[in-house]
Chain A
Amino acid sequence: MTTGKYEAVIGLEVHAELKTNTKAFCSCGLSFGAIPNSHVCPGCLGMPGTMPVLNRELVEYAIKTGLALNCKIAEYCRFDRKNYFYPDLPNGFQISQLDLPICTAGSLEIETQQGKKTIGINRVHMEEDAGKLVHQGNIMTTPYSLADLNRAGTPLLEIVSEPDMRSPQEARMYLEKLRSILLFLGVSDCRMEEGSLRCDANISIRPWGQEKLGTRAEIKNLNSFRALERAAEYEIKRQIEVLEEGGQLVQETRTWDEDRQVTLSMRSKEQAQDYRYFPDPDLTPIIIGQDWIERVRKTLPELPDQARERLIKEYNLPPYDANLLTMSKDVLDFFDGCVAEYKEPKAVANWVMGELTRLLNQNNMEIKDAKISPSSLAQMLKLLEQGTISGKIAKVVFEEMFATGESPDKIVKDRGLVQISDESAIKAIVEEVITGNPKVVEDFKNGKGKALGFLVGQVMKISKGKANPEMVNQLLKEELSRR
């Protein structure tokens, strides 16, 4: 998009739900889609007399994430209460971190068309999630709402970037990269549509060359990469229009309306919130020594950037392939699992990025929910290489593997899909085709190149696609030259 004399400035605040076993401050299990209010205890219901006890895993995940994002891990941090009233907030306060977050001053790299760009991470802090409100119909017109507190107390990391992005595309790349890092770390499911990864964008514009930031709008309700990109595009355009028309921008919160593809002001009548943060007296401070950090560092898995390098260096894959394969940890694991058994990385990459991705998208599935295993893809590729099946049959076999999870051997055997490489068997079909299509044979002899293709197709059709295509070609040419 063109922004004329203005430069866009974007910063993102991302909330990631962590996939620990239990909630942040009580021992209830996490749930998605469970019976409402069935993963709750006196603690996360905010009953009188209950007290929070910190989940160690939350701190471990935060340190891990901080290290992966090149952050400084705080030696001393603490929890604060953020006070506000909402029916999905059982205690009337959210336990969060205000001025002493666990991680600060980090960064990640994105790959723009102009090359690598570093985006700063201002801070990462730990907090708890609220419950969910269900409205009947529209929030404005519903007579009442229903609160389900299963989600209340789920551990969250809030990851706040610096305002370092200059276009909606960069914002999207940052979010994609951040998501892939979190997925590689295994700390979050990062499902945007289910809300386990949530994103708010701070967007402002300023004349090129101006250092001072413009008045920003905070955009909420961005639950897909696409929504982020579209909303940012819309908002930048809107802000430019306001200024161009001589208007003034106000600092405000806006929401992305997916149906109408616009951002709408959420200004409420009530005066600005005052969250009255103060240190939570029921929790102790957290002191993180170097030994703890080193222990966590040792558990860090390979991260997307490292994996990308590996695919390029060790497997000679083009950067494009390496990027796609490292978007998600599950995809990379599938690829690596397959290459371990079938050592032709480019062939594996083609199938993973091609057929597999196509079928996943078509079925709206994620790779880890698919029935097909890396090992079965490797087996299939071996069958292909050995000539047991043809490339065309391979696609049929792959679809069957994807749908049923059966091994390729079994599918090929059960459905009789073994490639026919027996010369006499193919010769018989070739003869049958030549005899049955005298007109086409005539055309071939008159130099019509297309005629050969038709005859090959006929042979394949009669053999139900199983005839070895190379042999069909060769034998057809031989037979035709004899006539």
Chain B
Amino acid sequence: MKLYQLSVKKIAEMLARREVKAQEVLESVAERISQVEHKIQAFTTLTLEEAQKTAMDIDRRGEITGLAGIPCGIKDNLCTRGVKTTCASKMLENFIPPYDATVVNKLKSDGAVMVGKMNMDEFAMGFSTETSCFYPTHNPWDLARVPGGSSGGSAAAVAAGEVFYALASDTGGSIRQPAAFCGVVGLKPTYGRVSRYGLVAFASSMDQVGPLTRDVTDCALVMNAICGYDHRDSSSREAEVPDYRDFLQTDIKGMKIGFPREYFLDEVEPSVREAVKKALLKYEELGAVVEETSLPHSKYALPVFQIIASAETSSSMARYDGVRYGYRDENAQDIAEMMSNSRGRGLGPEVKRRILLGTHFLSKDSYDAYYLKAMKVRRLIKEDFDRAFEKFDLLVSPAAVSTAFKLGEKTEDLSGVLNIPANLAGIPAMSIPGGVVDGLPVGLQLMGPPLAEGTLLKAAYAFEQGSDYHLRTPILEV
């Protein structure tokens, strides 16, 4: 076993016991990056020099704790002071924030070693990392396939051993679907659990930051580092943050698990459906009570998301006007032309499509029919979950409708139907390796009531300990 293959937990123990130096850990990761990055293309920016300095500092510390000295990746829509934050968009190709996102700041003060910024769909709008203005990222399990998106770079790098963990964002499945495609663990926490300050907005009422890791234990460790109240984010919750390691238990006897029938319909590929049903049997074996249930408004989630996310996007993206930062058409003769050309050329087709749609949904004549209607149905969707969680501790479903598809193969996010409801309801949801189909990972999605990340981790850990999916790693010829 090489160092880069170990878990966050293992490396942390070795660093704490001085069995290895942070610099050696970084060297192992750097070597791995030099071997596989040209195939994966998971990064937008590498910061190995800065990482080297941090690792040296850590090695000089008297005591090494938490995530100190462990190399990680940061999705390129989380602001990093002095390091380009591009959102994989031509618009922000050269943007260098003068401040750190709160989560980045938390990791830095913990002594985390950031090795780079991770590729993504432009402004997180996409489901395959193909809308990145730089290049698509490739799935380490099969380079002809996408890693999922929008956090494809983050998930692929974790799976390929280029980083030990990554921080990413999830607005409509952007952590969970790539986690499923790349066979790693991805958690979208409760809305308000992790600070959004410094996360470049896509749809503010649904955006949430979360970890991508190789196993459930590492997920708990990263959650411990990033959760908590932040006075700079008004939607941040003051609820106490537990030590998530306490939930890493295998005894789930009597846990009530529901599987919503709307999440097992025809759009889910039969092989994936079978794999998830097998996982449910596993839960029964472990002593959980598994029952079918219904979330009747699920089928409305996609159009509701289309409307709300586009509407919020059209407003949040208005700041990219070429005045204070970002791409600018230098030849325009007046201000309207300058703004229109800068936005027309600096933003990609998927982003522009959403902005224009959102502009339509919010315009005077459409507001009631679309935006207001969507907000009402959003309540119905949330109430479905409220009712379900009166009866169940958590809900289980596939995390994606299929395994990873080929680059250029899909133009529509089919897995959204499974991922989006959790964002609309603001509840925590995670994807864990839950099976294998044709050598490709299958993601199992767990959803819980608000602030029940602990319950999710517990159920995930119990499943993981009874399986070996998380131990499989992609074979990359080097």
Contact = CB atoms under 8 A, between A and B. Distances in A.
Q: Do any CB atoms of chain A lie under 8 A from CB atoms of chain B in the complex?
A: yes
Interface of A: 42, 45-54, 81, 83, 85, 87, 90-93, 145, 147, 149, 274, 276-278, 281-284
Contact of B324 (A45, A49, A274): A45
B84 to A, nearest CB: 12
Interface residues of B, number: 46
B318 A49 contact: no
* Binding site secondary structure of chain A: loop
Interface in B167-217: 196-201, 203-205
Given A87-B323, A90-B324, A278-B311, A53 B318 contact: no
B234 A91 contact: no
Given A92-B321, A276-B315, 20 more contacts: A42-B98, A47-B319, A47-B324, A47-B325, A48-B87, A48-B97, A48-B200, A48-B201, A51-B197, A52-B234, A53-B231, A83-B315, A85-B336, A90-B319, A92-B319, A147-B323, A278-B312, A282-B201, A282-B234, A283-B234
Given A87-B323, A92-B319, A93-B318, A47 B97 contact: yes
Contacts of B376: none
B294 interface: no
Contacts of B451: none
A402 B98 CA distance: 49
B106 to A, nearest CB: 15
A50 B197 contact: yes
Contacts of B234: 51-54, 282-284
A92 B315 contact: yes
A93 B315 CA distance: 7
Interface in B341-392: 359, 362-364, 367, 371
B85 A48 contact: yes
Given A49-B198, A53-B232, A282 B204 contact: yes
Nearest to A143: B333
B318 A92 contact: yes
7 contacts: A49-B77, A49-B79, A52-B234, A83-B362, A274-B363, A281-B205, A284-B234
A160 B37 CA distance: 61
Given A47-B325, A51-B233, A83-B318, A281 B312 contact: yes
Interface string B89-115: 000100101110100000000000000
Contacts of B78: 49
Contacts of A282: 201, 204, 234-235
B239 interface: no
Contacts of B143: none
Contact of A278 (B197, B321, B371): B371
**Most chain A C-beta atoms within 10 Å of own C-beta, residue among B77, B317, B318, B359:** B318
Nearest to A54: B234
**Most chain B C-beta atoms within 10 Å of own C-beta, residue among A46, A49, A81:** A49
Given A83-B362, A147-B323, A274-B364, A51 B196 contact: yes
A46 B77 CA distance: 15
B97 A49 contact: yes
Contact of A48 (B92, B359, B367): B92
A36 to B, nearest CB: 13
B335 interface: yes
A399 B437 CA distance: 96
Contact of A87 (B77, B335, B362): B335
A47 B87 CA distance: 13
Contacts of B420: none
Nearest to A42: B99
B209 to A, nearest CB: 11
Contacts of A149: 324
B320 to A, nearest CB: 8
Given A53-B232, A281-B205, A283-B234, A48 B319 contact: yes
Nearest to A282: B204
